[in-house]
Structure 1
Amino acid sequence: MKYLLVHQDEDDEDEFWGRCAGVEGMFVDRVPPPREVLTLRGCDPEGLLRDALMPNGESTALLGDVCVEVWDEEQPLQWWSLLDCVVITHQSNRDDPALVDVVVGAGVEEEHAWSHTLPATPRFKLFAGPTRTPGSAGHCLAVDGLFVMRGAPAPTPMRLVGCEPAEPMLAVLRRPRKWDRDWVGLWALDRTGRVMYRHNVHLRIETARPSVLGCGLLDIRLTDGGDDRPPLLARPIWETWYRGAPTTRNQWAALSAQGRSEWLDLTATGMNEQGPDRSDDVHHLDGTYVTDMPGLHCAMAEALVGPGGYYGREWNAFKDCLHGGFGVCAPFTLIWHDADVARRALADEIWDTEKGLTYFEEIVQLLESFGVTVVLQ
């Protein structure tokens, strides 16, 4: 049995609801939103958008993801993401030739359904760029095609295979509609029985039938397995972890940046099991494979708490760990071997836009601000 079914009761206590041999539909690639054509009217472009409208051999019409915020006089009311945004064409605005109308193609995601009345004089602010705080891309007077109804993507079902339900789960199966707004935890186990991942699913049960595995087990089909399931590329990473928590360094090194992020997600499950904090030790970071931000955090965690350990997945979580409670706290010494690998690889990852610091420089500065002695070699 590779999965447990666990429900949290009214007292926040975990209650065993059953177990199952497998799950089909645990790994699902996110379906991108359909492409749309929108017109940014009356634009005063800045940054990447301005560069895209004045091609010079280096600029590009590919803007990446663009954030559009609609503001009243004081604050943003709503925002949208224009995913993989591409400039199609542009021309001078008819009412004000100093401004420009820009036609773009993009997939549109909105934070939540629009529920405001559009202000009398709305302001549409644009942001674009690869940094943590995207740079301004200017503003515009209106966005044609933005305020339309967009249907939610069709849910992707999940099937619990070879399920052995406990009595609480049997009660759900007897009256499934009563529970379709509730949820249950689906905990993945490694072969030692350790929990390696936790996922929540709604109890919207379509069918419950005798299992293909026999033995009195059930196969239960859920209408929707949830929005935050791991992508398909995570499946072989899970297989590695299924054999047991990693005990050797750099097992993540051959993975892509996205694969390394999935690796970090698996380390987070055991974040509260790393023992009391130690300090004043010397730690060695192998920087050979630190070629992206997830790789930095994989190597950092291995240096501080060992293979498979957790010490943050990004800047904010890393800062939280430095406060203590995750196995290591300052002061300590970190010897960062082959630091130039990360310095070069993250040179374009500007984290502090005001100071112009890269992600690598910001991490070093953060460590030093907590009293860590960082030796770059």
Structure 2
Amino acid sequence: MKYLLVQEDEDGVERLWGRCAGVEGLFVEPVPLPREVLILRGCRPEGPLRDALAEPGLLPRGLGDVSVEVLDGDDSVQWWTLVDAVVVAHRPHPDDPARHDIVLGAGVRNDDTWLARLEAPRFDLFAGTTVAAAPMGRCTDVEGLFGPRADPAPVPLELIGCEAVEPLLEGTQRPRRWARGWADLLVLDRHGAVMASRPVGLDVSGARPSVLGDGLEDVTLTDGGDDRPSPAVRPVWEKWYEGAPTEPHTWAPYDARGRAEWLELTTRGWRAPLSGPDRSGGEHHLDGRFVTDVPGLHCAIAEALLGPGRYFGREWNAFKDCLGGGFGVAPPFTLVWHDADVARRALAEVVEDPEGRLTYFEEIVRLLERRGVTVVLR
């Protein structure tokens, strides 16, 4: 059995619902958002948006993902993402020629909402969805943003050769009357250790005797969840299936997407409690030959501090948290960064701080030094 289906009760205790020999549909591409037309009313454009309006002959013009922060007074109350936004057309705003009404095409995703009703909203735009997102302007309204949207149809998941136990067994016998919320699908490596976990819906839409026999069933879950890896990162999972990595640089052959998935797997693969307090002091050596992107940087730092396959943050904020302690190593210590120029050149265009214009590489070095780490660049 390679998969376990478990549900956590109110006391945090995991209850087994079934064991499965295989799963079909674990790796899927996300369902694309439908394209919509939105109008940025009374907009004062900045940055890439201003550049797009400066050359109307080149429209339509892509902006990439655009973040929309909705403010009510001084309070930030909502975040939206306009996925793959494209400037289609624009014209001067009727009441103020210095402003613009801009027609965009985009997929619309609601990221965070704290208030349902807004008294006096305003809308700030940012290029991208990370903390490095640069301002793109401010608008008085985003027409079409709050329109009703149907949830995308769920993508099912097939549990192959499933040994169901109560209460899942009841669901396989009467699937149409079955609705039991969500559970976790635990993925086991070849040694039986949990290498990953993904949430799945427990609604059963079908069950039949499995071709594997021995009283097993093939069970169809109506909704396999949104947090499923892409088929493009399947080789990373296959590598981890062999067991938690023990050799350095095993992540290096993968592209940025694969390395990001590698970091995702480290969060579950090394979740066991620490055997003792954080280690401080001493000298750690970072092999910088393969640090050609942001995920690679975090793979290399974690490996330098804790060893292959270990977790020490997968992006800026998580890395900052890890430096605060509780993850095996804490400052002060010395980090000798070999071949640092590889990362300096590769991340020269990756800017974490739009105001200060420091690159991601420079920000990481500055953060380490601020937290008491002696960084030696070689």
Q: Is the structural similarity TM-score above 0.5? A: yes
Other structure's SS at 2:375 match: strand
Could you say which residue in structure 2 is the equivalent of 1:364? 365
Asked if 1:78 is matched to 2:85, the reply is no
Distance 1:340 1:59, change over 3 A: farther
Per-residue CA shift, 1:331-369, capped at 9, x if unaligned?
Answer: 222111111111111122221233332211121122222
Q: Distance in 2 between matches of 1:351 and 1:335?
A: 23
Could you say which residue in structure 1 is the equivalent of 2:149? 150
Distance 1:111 1:322, change over 3 A: closer
Could you say which residue in structure 2 is the equivalent of 1:330? 331
Distance 1:157 1:56, change over 3 A: closer
Distance 1:131 1:210, change over 3 A: closer
Distance 1:216 1:110, change over 3 A: same
Given the two structures, how large is their TM-score scaled by the length of structure 2? Answer: 0.91
Conserved? CA contact 2:126–2:133, under 8 Å:
yes
Paired residue type of 2:208: R
Could you say which residue in structure 2 is the equivalent of 1:211? 210
Please report how far the alpha carbon of residue 296 of structure 1 lies from its aligned counterpart in structure 2 after TM superposition. 0.5
Please report how far the alpha carbon of residue 129 of structure 1 lies from its aligned counterpart in structure 2 after TM superposition. 4.3
Could you say which residue in structure 2 is the equivalent of 1:290? 291
Could you say which residue in structure 2 is the equivalent of 1:51? 51
Please report how far the alpha carbon of residue 324 of structure 1 lies from its aligned counterpart in structure 2 after TM superposition. 2.5
Q: How does 1:1-377 map to 2 (within 5 A)?
A: 1-55=1-55, 61-111=61-111, 116-117=116-117, 119=119, 122-129=121-128, 132-174=131-173, 180-273=179-272, 275-276=275-276, 277-377=278-378
Q: Distance in 1 between matches of 2:285 and 2:58?
A: 40
Gaps of 5+ in 2: none
Please report how far the alpha carbon of residue 84 of structure 1 lies from its aligned counterpart in structure 2 after TM superposition. 1.2
Paired residue type of 1:334: L
Please, which moves more after superposition, 216-225 or 3-12? 3-12
Q: Distance in 2 between matches of 1:100 and 1:316?
A: 35
Conserved? CA contact 2:66–2:81, under 8 Å:
yes
Q: Distance in 1 between matches of 2:115 and 2:371?
A: 44
Conserved? CA contact 2:157–2:223, under 8 Å:
yes
Conserved? CA contact 1:131–1:349, under 8 Å:
no
Task: Give the CA RMSD over aligned residues.
Answer: 2.5
Conserved? CA contact 2:186–2:194, under 8 Å:
yes
Q: Distance in 2 between matches of 1:257 and 1:337?
A: 21
Please, which moves more after superposition, 256-265 or 103-112? 103-112
Given the two structures, how large is their TM-score scaled by the length of structure 1? Answer: 0.91
Distance 1:135 1:112, change over 3 A: closer
Conserved? CA contact 1:278–1:327, under 8 Å:
yes
Other structure's SS at 2:196 match: strand
Please report how far the alpha carbon of residue 272 of structure 1 lies from its aligned counterpart in structure 2 after TM superposition. 3.1
Per-residue CA shift, 1:71-108, capped at 9, x if unaligned?
Answer: 33332443321111121222222232222222222111
Please report how far the alpha carbon of residue 266 of structure 1 lies from its aligned counterpart in structure 2 after TM superposition. 0.8
Q: Distance in 2 between matches of 1:257 and 1:349?
A: 13
Distance 1:69 1:165, change over 3 A: same
Conserved? CA contact 2:263–2:295, under 8 Å:
yes
Q: Distance in 1 between matches of 2:83 and 2:90?
A: 19
Paired residue type of 2:331: A
Q: Distance in 1 between matches of 2:70 and 2:326?
A: 41
Other structure's SS at 2:155 match: coil
Q: In the comparison of the two structures, how many residue pairs are matched?
A: 376
Q: Distance in 2 between matches of 1:223 and 1:304?
A: 42
Aligned-residue sequence identity (percent) comes to 60
Q: Distance in 2 between matches of 1:174 and 1:214?
A: 17
Paired residue type of 2:13: E
Distance 1:73 1:173, change over 3 A: same
Q: Distance in 1 between matches of 2:153 and 2:114?
A: 20
Q: Distance in 2 between matches of 1:323 and 1:33?
A: 38
Please, which moves more after superposition, 300-309 or 2-11? 2-11
Q: Distance in 1 between matches of 2:128 and 2:152?
A: 27
Q: Distance in 1 between matches of 2:163 and 2:296?
A: 39
Gaps of 5+ in 1: none
Please report how far the alpha carbon of residue 37 of structure 1 lies from its aligned counterpart in structure 2 after TM superposition. 2.3
